[in-house]
A and B are shown apart, each in its own frame.
Chain A
Amino acid sequence: MSGKFRKSLSQGRWLAIVSTFVLFSLTACQKQEPWALDNITGLMPKLEFNLTNDNGHPVTADAYHGKLVLLYFGYTNCPDVCPTTLATLAQAVRSLGTDADKVRVLFVSVDPARDTAPVLKSYTGAFGPQFVGLSGNEKALDALTRRYRVVYSLDKPDAQGNYAVNHSSGIFIFDGKGNARLLGSSTSKAPEITQDLRHLLATG
């Protein structure tokens, strides 16, 4: 009898644990936003810049009107974090299939001394046709980085003249009208970026 009692007690306890868990997850779901990345709608200004594209031509944000824009800052002499992030973005964009062309990834180099237009063009081309390299002089870069509270700094060159660049790891996502909508980072995963891009494409 005591065995039976213990059994029913343990079943009851399990039921309580499971139902609490289910209830908790349901409440969590209700409060959850549809976004995997951080929602920055209304918190950051519209996309605006005066830079030079990887064909060497001056370009403003108007050129990307109607496209979802992913804005990321970095430099091509960055062997690890920048190509890792761009590879993740490439995977995320490829997963959109035929909708991939509705997206542009703007890679803004904060190292214009080394990242000339031809260097940027071959670099971004390695990640996909949706990738565009942009850069500019210090004034133009600072206007853009200040706008999105992005920071960057150049380390001291070593004996061979090589230097690392410290830069924000944020990925700013803008809708087709240039409104800032989402913020990801170099640690965001490709499937969650794809999911959010799909949601943005569907809802505008």
Chain B
Amino acid sequence: MSALNTRFARDHRIHPLGMVMAVIITLFTCSLAFAAPQINVSNARIRLLPGDLPLAGYFDLMNRGDQNLVLVGATSTAFKMVHMHRSMEHDGISSMAPVGRLEIKPGASVHFAPGGYHLMLMQATTPLKVGEKIPVALQFAGGQTQQVMFTVNGAGTE
């Protein structure tokens, strides 16, 4: 391999060091591509409320893999309890129901957003501050987890 590289470099008048760098860069890029996340989470945020009231966590999740993803819950070291919920409105009445599992097909996205799916984060272990980043581990069927940093936003935000 090294002899081949040297001859290739000599034939093409490329400095051997340049060749080594190219190989390193190629390998590095390949490893990055293989490590590319199958689960893409963006816009993760928590809306802060005064006192120890339950807070809502929102995010957008895209399944970039080729397998079905099943979101089954979340945990956070910053909260004693995290539930997955969905708000609904029927005939002018707002209600909320727990969600046990949420399937996301390959290439599909799910939006945890005001008035719909949300994480309900309860009993903060320490008081949170606006602007802080809070780690939340999203849990998927099969034991897979994905750590996501949620930004703490003020009460008057969406």
> A100 CB to closest chain B CB, in angstroms?
13
Pair B94/A79 contact, Cβ less than 8 Å: no
Pair A90/B156 contact, Cβ less than 8 Å: yes
Task: Provide the main secondary structure of the chain B interface.
Answer: strand
Q: Is the CB of A151 closer than 8 A to any CB of chain B?
A: yes
Number of A-B contacts (CB under 8 A): 92
Q: Is the CB of B11 closer than 8 A to any CB of chain A?
A: no
A166 / chain B contacts, CB cutoff of 8 Å: 93-95
Pairs A–B under 8 Å by Cβ, sample size 19: A76-B53, A78-B94, A79-B49, A79-B54, A80-B56, A80-B114, A80-B120, A81-B94, A84-B114, A86-B156, A87-B156, A88-B158, A122-B51, A126-B155, A164-B97, A167-B93, A167-B94, A185-B92, A187-B115
State the A residues within 8 Å of B (CB). Answer: 74, 76-81, 83-84, 86-88, 90-91, 119, 122-123, 125-128, 151, 160, 162, 164, 166-170, 185-187
Per the CB 8 Å criterion, the residue count for chain B at the interface is: 29
Pair A186/B118 contact, Cβ less than 8 Å: no
Segment 21-76 of B: residues with Cβ below 8 Å from A:
47, 49-51, 53-56
A185 / chain B contacts, CB cutoff of 8 Å: 89, 92
State the B residues within 8 Å of A (CB). Answer: 47, 49-51, 53-56, 81, 85, 87, 89, 92-97, 114-115, 118, 120-122, 154-158
Pair A79/B81 contact, Cβ less than 8 Å: no
Pair B51/A128 contact, Cβ less than 8 Å: no
Known: A74-B94, A81-B114, A126-B155. 9 other contacts (CB 8 A): A77-B53, A79-B49, A79-B55, A81-B115, A83-B47, A119-B51, A128-B156, A168-B92, A187-B89
B94 / chain A contacts, CB cutoff of 8 Å: 74, 78, 81, 166-169, 186
A164 / chain B contacts, CB cutoff of 8 Å: 95-97
Residue of B nearest to A87 (CB): B156
Pair B92/A78 contact, Cβ less than 8 Å: no
Pair B54/A77 contact, Cβ less than 8 Å: yes
In angstroms, Cα B93 to Cα A185, docked, is 10
In angstroms, Cα B87 to Cα A100, docked, is 30
Pair B50/A123 contact, Cβ less than 8 Å: yes
A91 / chain B contacts, CB cutoff of 8 Å: 156
Pair A126/B92 contact, Cβ less than 8 Å: no
Option from B47, B49, B56, B154 in Cβ contact (under 8 Å) with A76:
B49
B114 / chain A contacts, CB cutoff of 8 Å: 80-81, 84
Pair A169/B49 contact, Cβ less than 8 Å: no
